Structure 1
Amino acid sequence: MKGLTVRIDRDLCVGFGDCIDLAPEVFDFDEDGVAFIKEAVDCDQIDQETFLEACSACPVDAITVLNAGGEQLAP
């Protein structure tokens, strides 16, 4: 996960929770029911493939992931 830029579009997220189901150590809901990335995420403990799968699972494509070169990896 190091070297990745992750953005969650709060206007698009409708709280399906697919990202949380697949990567609960990374994502959670805030008080408005919108997904966010937890602050205390240990990037070395997270499988990048699982993380990208969780980001790509969003049915409304609210999560965008870019690598260090700016290439979009998800959705």
Structure 2
Amino acid sequence: MWEAGLEELFGRVEGCFRSDQPRAQARAYVAGLLSRTERKNGWTLAEFSRESGPQKMQRLLNEYAWDADGVRDVVAA
């Protein structure tokens, strides 16, 4: 199942996030992308994660500081 691989991946990219909140939100975002949710947008990803709105998903993409290049390198490896 992809859930086990997702946990392994986020164990490997842990150092790319400055705190737990951005890492948890990134995990929720990727889980939503990998889900069977038909449409993938801020609202549907938030609903998949049982959040009341897309604000946290938007904050991940627009405000949180994290090492996107580092995550890319881990995924590419």
Normalising by structure 2, report the TM-score: 0.30
As a proportion of its length, which structure holds more strand?
A: 1
Normalising by structure 1, report the TM-score: 0.30
